[in-house]
Homo-oligomer: A and B are copies of this chain.
Amino acid sequence: MNGAELLVKTAQARGIEVCFANAGTTEIPIVLALDTTKGIKAILGLFEGVCTGAADGYGRMTGKPAMTLLHLGPGFANGIANLHDARRAATPVLNVIGQHATWHLPADPPLAMDVESLTRTVSGWVRTSESIETLSRDMNEAINASGFGQISSLIVPHDIQLAEARDEGIGGLDFVFDSVDADLITKAAQRMRAARKSALLLDGRALSRPGLEAATRIRAKLQSDLFAPSFFSCVERGLGLPDVQRIPYFPEEAISLLSDYDVVVIVSAHEPVTFFGYPGIRGHILTDEQEKLYLCRVRENPVKALEALADALDAPAHPIVRDAKSPRAQLPAGNLTAEKACLTVAALQPEHAIIVDEGITSGFTYYPLTASSPPHSFMTIAGGSIGYGMPCATGAAVASPDRPVINFQADGSALYTVQALWTQAREGLHVITLICSNRSYKILQLELSRAGITSYGDNARALTELNAPPINWVSLSRGFGVPAVAVDTVEGLARELRVGLAESGPRLIEMVLA
């Protein structure tokens, strides 16, 4: 058994089931080890951003890490943008990166670069394996570290992959993820009881079904309101689940919405801040006078912390979830707009659908429409790094092959990692991609109009418009092997979405928006 086989056996023994990969010569021993060691499926991405984004989607759905296999510094660099989103979503991801042989690296061959510095920009845990003796332990520690909702990056030189290993090297070291801090719980309970008006701000596993059940108990006791950040990892949503409000993207609305709470308990989330610094507007949504309490730290379990808080508050064990204020969205009619596209999806999405939203401006109106939709999972662009949607949908579909994935996808962002379509085709994944074709970087145009700019010169137009030529999405999608169709009416979208939901493989629908 060589080092590569030891590495893969360790991963397999720890329950890793999928490896999203784009390997090169320095990873060949690991590629071969994936053949000889059964139990881990290798899935090719045509670009590393597809691999890391898919690992993000997989991790958000399963709560456990997928492995990625990436080629040296440039390969890892191509995956950074989507790892940034995974980091902000606190998704467990396990990166394995090949490295030149230790004896060859000092020769500074063409592909050599500073891989460790690259990995540190997005990883909570980084190590370059230094010997075959520690390799299995390195891998175990990497897996443990990722389990706490971090990116782990293990760099493995080629000669260590090839070195002869002893079987005994595979070892345990399972991570523990059930601790809570009793003092934090007690203090939060005290402050919430004393508050005039309190809120819970939830992200990560706090937005899972058990997390929301505990939050619902607290809400039933104290009439606290439930919020999520503007962009978060994944929320369970729909009938029978509480309607968690998103903090609005633009700061004026966000500040206004949260201004009335004197105590905000933050669970697996960051303090809310504006997405960008706008001159004349404060960067923190909450004032210094509003009390902010953090219920748990990185290595503590937010679900157990919320349950402990509910217990500490003597909250009812099984409160009734209040009905959503509005009935289910109704199908609109006529020419397609961004708003009507949102209504159509909200009206038709089936139970257990996974919605991966990178609609950017086109998706602004979608979320509030779905409180009365059947239960579903809903993901957002947690770190704001565009190009996460298609890969994330791919990974979510790998994680949940029995659930349909609807990727509500802005056109400009889609073009960042459009290669994900091919992986969907190859793996026969049930992903329905809805392209919001508005042929512009609309968010930039919105920000320009906020800054008082409404007419552009040639350069500003060149950098904000995507027409001339327009992308032919049907042709592009078919080029990657995914059947595609374009629609410009609600009726067309409804028909094609129903077809896509009834079939099993991937499908792309270009929504030509007015």
Contacts and interface: CB of A to CB of B under 8 A. Distances in A.
Interface of A: 19, 21-26, 28, 31-32, 34-36, 40-44, 46-47, 49, 73-75, 77-78, 80-81, 84, 88, 100-101, 103-105, 107-111, 113-114, 117-118, 120-122, 158-159, 162, 231, 270-271, 273-277, 279, 283-284, 382-387, 412, 415-416, 418-419, 422, 425-426, 443-444, 447-448, 451, 453, 456-460, 462-464, 466, 468-481
Contact of A104 (B276, B476, B479): B276
A35 to B, nearest CB: 3
- Residue from A77, A109, A468, A470 whose CB has the most chain B CB atoms within 10 Å: A77
Contact of A24 (B19, B104, B425, B444): B444
Contacts of A24: 444
Contact of A385 (B42, B74, B88): B74
A81 B74 contact: yes
A36 B457 CA distance: 8
B231 A277 contact: no
6 contacts: A22-B463, A40-B459, A74-B383, A78-B80, A107-B277, A425-B469
Nearest to A107: B273
Contacts of A120: 114, 117
A343 to B, nearest CB: 27
A276 to B, nearest CB: 5
Contact of A284 (B23, B81, B107, B473): B107
Contact of A463 (B21, B458, B464, B475): B21
A275 B469 contact: no
A129 to B, nearest CB: 15
A285 to B, nearest CB: 10
Contact of A475 (B109, B159, B458, B476): B476
A35 B458 contact: yes
Contacts of A383: 74, 110-111
A274 B480 CA distance: 35
